[in-house]
Amino acid sequence: MDKEKGIRELIEAMQYVTNCPVPVYLACIGGPMSAVPSYGAVIDELGLSRERFKFHDLVPTGDVPSYLAAFDLAAMPFPWTPHYAFNMSPLKMFEYMAAGKPIVATKLPAVMELLKDGVNAVLVEPDNPAALARGIQHIVLDPAFARKIGENSRRDVNSYTWQRRAEKILAFIGNRQT
């Protein structure tokens, strides 16, 4: 949709990610690759090592699970805009949940319909790189917590399968005919 999705804030958050027992890297998958030079400029401005960042264009749908399996956590740093706050239902959120990944996401009404802070995700204030970094560190520094929220998100997404959606639609239609 050609809308900024919070990647700049995610890059800025990397300057605050400290005290982690392992180096933290950021991989952004899905393009557009035309934005990468501007992200590289932000990385350079902040004095961060480009080796900590990888950008990759769109991948085939069938490859998404393999990419997700490689990640320790998934981030959805959407900015506060009317579109993101009220009108989206990002497919990536369902993919992250189905993969059982611990998720750090911004507190937006559309996101909070499914994700609950400390239960199946870590939710942070939008447009706040320091808060985003704290959320990432919480997941990285507490593997038991990360595992718990990942397992909870995998369980919770079962209410949103295509099968469940069809069942709800059929039940609704059936109730209207009586």
Domain containing residue 68: CATH number: 3.40.50.2000
Domain-embedded: residue 1? no
Cα separation, 120 vs 106, in Å, equals 13
144 belongs to a structural domain? yes
Give the DSSP H or E segment for 145: helix 143-156
Asked whether residue 16 is domain-assigned, the answer is yes
Q: Answer whether residue 2 is part of any domain.
A: no
**Predicted confidence (pLDDT) at residue 178 exceeds the cutoff of 70:** no
pLDDT score at 177: 67
Answer yes or no: are the C-beta atoms of 81 and 6 closer than 8 Å. Answer: no
Has residue 133 been placed in a domain? yes
**Model confidence, pTM:** 0.89
- CA dihedral (14, 11, 44, 23) in degrees, to 10, reads 30
| Residues near 74 by beta carbon (within 8 Å), at least 6 away in sequence | 68, 92, 96, 99, 101, 102, 103, 104
Q: 55: which strand partners?
A: 28
Q: Which residue segment(s) compose the domain that 64 sits in?
A: 7-177
pLDDT 10s digits, 124-154: 999 999 999 999 999 999 999 999 999 999 9
- Tokens representing 143? 């593997």
The radius of gyration of the chain from alpha carbons, rounded to an integer in Å, stands at 17
Evaluate whether residue 147 is within a structural domain: yes
How many independent structural domains does the chain possess?
Answer: 1
Q: What's the pLDDT tens digit per position in 93-121? A: 999 999 999 999 999 999 999 999 999 99
